[in-house]
DNA sequence: ATGACCATGTAATTAGTTACATGATTTG
DNA sequence: CAAATCATGTAACTAATTACATGGTCAT
């Protein structure tokens, strides 16, 4: 049982979902493709941590709905007492930034403008998520509490990254102006 | 050539290093173990992107120093014009937080206290890194500029995560007090 | 003496991506 | 009419981790 499996159990402990839906639901926390999730769900069902049934749909393809079993809930509760691995971040932009001295300023500006737009979008997304969470339920013990603090974190992080992009773009702008003044 | 390889080229474009040192230097941007880096370096040397020589040491084990070749620099410069992949973040704490409603409050407090300590340490680390960068060199075009903006980002992110931990711990504290008042 | 740091490497396994395969419906 | 969304799955490959293997120095 890897971390992703426990993540899927956690999602299914809230509500049953299709593999496709689970793939979408887990994206904010753990980026995994459907080709990794489908075989995992099969193996978890073999171990009786999940059960499933097919739902016929007329307009869309049929779907297989997974639900967590009591054995699955036990596994999930067990996991809650295990040590937590430190986060793994793999950001190509950081590696690229490290070699920025090899780039022209115009190319650099484009890079951070692009990232900036991404974080503006992300910020809007998490703001809308937070709007959808009823605040009176945001207390420890409720499922909404988790969603609330996670969405808040994602929003805070997006805001910080956005601020950083703006700051970098400002530094790059200053440099361009100084270069223009010198010529 | 994967992203990690280009990251290693970027590090070596600044200064030559041993595999062990590269493993340490790349950690802030890309978490990779020595067992992944050593074979990669070998393959990059085979492709003539790197050259190497052994340095005898008396007190410590001998080491193999890698340097980037002109072909390696060309590859690196080429990469600078390629599209940048979005960042991948895999944080077990997020998955765990999602299932927090299954935990007791004491266990939850411990989890965020632990993470808090980690970010306090991280904040201190990046503050010391920033102290070590001469500010007059922090302009676009210098190698120091990259280090400066990357360390600033890491500091900003650590501060945000720290703020979030404090906020969560405050919410958990409020809950404990409310529970005590009710009893 | 126990563990951490330095230093390099390989072998076995698991995790994750890309590509293949299918096919209807909706939106621009 | 092209692209995106919904929906499931497998096959081939690459990336990454864990474990094995060695061995000296230094600090607690």
Regarding whether B58 and B16 lie in a shared domain, the answer is yes
CA distance A44 to A72: 9
What is the structure's pLDDT at B76? 98
Would you say B67 and B9 are in contact if contact means Cβ atoms under 8 Å apart? no
Place of tokens 């989890």: B111
A–B: how many Cβ contacts below 8 A? 186
Q: B177 in a domain, yes or no?
A: yes
Give me the CA A42–C1' C19 separation in Å, rounded: 21
Average pLDDT over residues A94-111: 96
Q: A99 in a domain, yes or no?
A: yes
Q: B172 in a domain, yes or no?
A: yes
Q: A86 in a domain, yes or no?
A: no
Domain edge (last residue) among B55, B79, B103: B79
Q: Strand C: which nucleotides have any atom within 7 A of a protein Cβ?
A: 6-12, 14-20, 23-26
Contacts of A139 (CB under 8 A, 6+ apart): A145, B175
Domain edge (last residue) among B49, B79, B109: B79
CA distance B32 to B54: 23
- Torsion angle in degrees (nearest 10) through CA of B8, B10, B11, B15: 130
Which CATH number fits the domain that encloses residue A14? 1.10.10.10
Contact B152 A139 (CB under 8 A): no
- Domains in chain A: how many in total? 2
What's the mean pLDDT when you consider all of chain A?
Answer: 95
Provide the pLDDT confidence category of residue A183 given band limits of 50, 70 and 90: low
Residues in chain B closer than 8 A to A155 (CB atoms): none
- Torsion angle in degrees (nearest 10) through CA of A125, A159, A85, B167: -100
pLDDT at B45 over 90: yes
Regarding whether B74 and B105 lie in a shared domain, the answer is no
Protein footprint of strand C, defined by Cβ closer than 7 Å to any strand atom: A 2-4, 31-33, 35-36, 59-61; B 18-21, 24, 34-35, 38-39, 41-42, 57, 60-65, 88, 90
Contact B175 A97 (CB under 8 A): no
Regarding whether A98 and A69 lie in a shared domain, the answer is no
Give pLDDT tens digits for B92-140.
999 999 999 999 999 999 999 999 999 999 999 999 999 999 988 889 9
Give me the CA B36–C1' D13 separation in Å, rounded: 17
Contact A175 B141 (CB under 8 A): yes
CB-strand contact B60/D, under 7 Å: yes
Nucleotide nearest to B59 (CA to C1'): D25
Regarding whether A175 and A106 lie in a shared domain, the answer is yes
Contacts of B73 (CB under 8 A, 6+ apart): B9, B13
Regarding whether B106 and B31 lie in a shared domain, the answer is no
Regarding whether A143 and A74 lie in a shared domain, the answer is no
Of B10, B98, B167, the CB nearest to A29: B98
Regarding whether A178 and A105 lie in a shared domain, the answer is yes
Regarding whether A97 and A51 lie in a shared domain, the answer is no
Hey, is the C-beta of B17 within 8 angstroms of any chain A C-beta?
Answer: no
Regarding whether B107 and B176 lie in a shared domain, the answer is yes
Domain that holds residue A113: 92-182
Domain edge (last residue) among A14, A47, A79: A79
What is the structure's pLDDT at A180? 78
Report which secondary-structure segment, H or E, holds B19.
helix B19-26
Regarding whether A61 and A12 lie in a shared domain, the answer is yes
Regarding whether B178 and B120 lie in a shared domain, the answer is yes
Q: B171 in a domain, yes or no?
A: yes
Q: A157 in a domain, yes or no?
A: yes
Q: A87 in a domain, yes or no?
A: no
pLDDT at B183 over 70: no
Provide the pLDDT confidence category of residue A58 given band limits of 50, 70 and 90: confident
CB-strand contact A39/D, under 7 Å: yes
Q: B87 in a domain, yes or no?
A: no
Hey, is the C-beta of A133 within 8 angstroms of any chain B C-beta?
Answer: no
Q: Strand D: which nucleotides have any atom within 7 A of a protein Cβ?
A: 6-12, 14-20, 23-26
Interface test with B, best of A122, A129, A140 (most B CBs within 10 A): A140
Instruction: Return the percentage of chain A with pLDDT > 90, whole number.
Output: 89
Regarding whether A128 and A58 lie in a shared domain, the answer is no
């Amino acid at each position: 049982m890897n971390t992703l499996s426990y993540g899927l159990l956690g999602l299914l402990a809230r509500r049953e979902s299709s593999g496709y839906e689970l793939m979408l639901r887990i994206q904010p926390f753990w980026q995994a493709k459907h080709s990794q999730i489908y075989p995992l769900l099969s193996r978890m069902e073999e171990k009786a941590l999940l059960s499933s049934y097919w739902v016929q749909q007329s307009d869309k393809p049929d779907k297989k709905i997974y639900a967590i079993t009591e054995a699955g809930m036990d596994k999930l509760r067990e996991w809650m007492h295990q040590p937590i691995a430190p986060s793994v971040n793999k950001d190509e932009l950081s590696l690229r930034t490290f070699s920025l001295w090899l780039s022209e300023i115009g190319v650099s500006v484009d890079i951070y403008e692009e990232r900036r737009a991404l974080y503006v979008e992300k910020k809007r997304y998490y703001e809308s998520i937070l709007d959808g969470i009823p605040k009176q339920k945001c207390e420890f013990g409720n499922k909404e509490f988790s969603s609330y603090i996670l969405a808040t974190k994602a929003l805070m992080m997006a805001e910080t990254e956005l601020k950083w992009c703006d700051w970098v773009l400002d530094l790059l702008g200053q440099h361009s102006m100084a270069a223009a003044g010198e010529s």
